[in-house]
């Protein structure tokens, strides 16, 4: 039954496209359906690839995953991610600090200073900028 419906559609399309004989009508109808199928595959491919491009853009820093943090209080900095380690100084409230991987440690952030020095601070001392 589906084959008869497909043949009828092919004949109607072929006749509308100007087929002069039965063979010409079938050829033009099939050609049109093949072109339509190819265009549909191209459109689906365009949507698929444009969707993956927007997923790649999520790696651009946004407010949620920004590496820039601001000190909320004067907190001690440490040489290791351990409160028992040597205190190296303190952060000044309101200053900006760079945290490259905020999920690297459970209770500490690793701060990278402009001179390349890396120190650790408790997470409650910083908030995202």
- pLDDT, tens digit (0-9, with 9 covering 90-100), for 33-62: 999 999 999 999 998 888 755 555 444 444
Tell which wins on pLDDT, 26 or 99. 26
Q: Give yes or no for residue 101 having a pLDDT over 90.
A: no
pTM over 0.75: no
**What pLDDT does 65 receive?**
53
**Domain 68-128, CATH among 2.40.128.20, 1.20.1250.20, 1.25.40.10, 2.30.30.40:** 2.30.30.40
| pLDDT tens digits for range 72-100 | 877 888 888 887 887 878 887 888 887 87
List of long-range contacts for 4-11, beta carbons under 8 Å, 24+ apart? 9/33
**What pLDDT does 52 receive?**
59
Q: How many residues does the chain have?
A: 129
pLDDT band at 4 (very low <50, low <70, confident <90, very high): very high
Tell which wins on pLDDT, 25 or 70. 25
Tell which wins on pLDDT, 100 or 11. 11
Domain segments of the chain: what residues? Answer: 2-58, 68-128
**What pLDDT does 5 receive?**
92
Other C-beta atoms closer than 10 Å to the C-beta of 101 total 9
Q: How far apart are CA 73 and CA 93, in angstroms?
A: 5
Both tokens of 28, joined, read: 């033009």
């Amino acid at each position: 039954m589906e084959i008869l419906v497909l043949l009828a559609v092919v004949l109607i399309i072929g006749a509308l496209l100007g087929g002069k004989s039965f063979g010409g009508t079938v050829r033009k109808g099939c050609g049109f359906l093949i072109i339509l199928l190819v265009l549909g595959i191209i459109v689906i491919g365009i949507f698929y690839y444009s969707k993956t491009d927007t997923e790649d853009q999520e790696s651009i820093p946004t407010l949620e995953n920004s590496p820039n943090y601001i000190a909320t209080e004067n907190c001690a900095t440490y040489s290791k991610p351990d409160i028992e380690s040597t205190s190296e100084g303190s952060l000044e409230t309101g200053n900006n600090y760079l945290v490259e991987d905020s999920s690297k440690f459970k209770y500490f952030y690793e701060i990278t200073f402009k001179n390349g020095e890396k120190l650790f601070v408790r997470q409650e001392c910083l908030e995202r900028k």
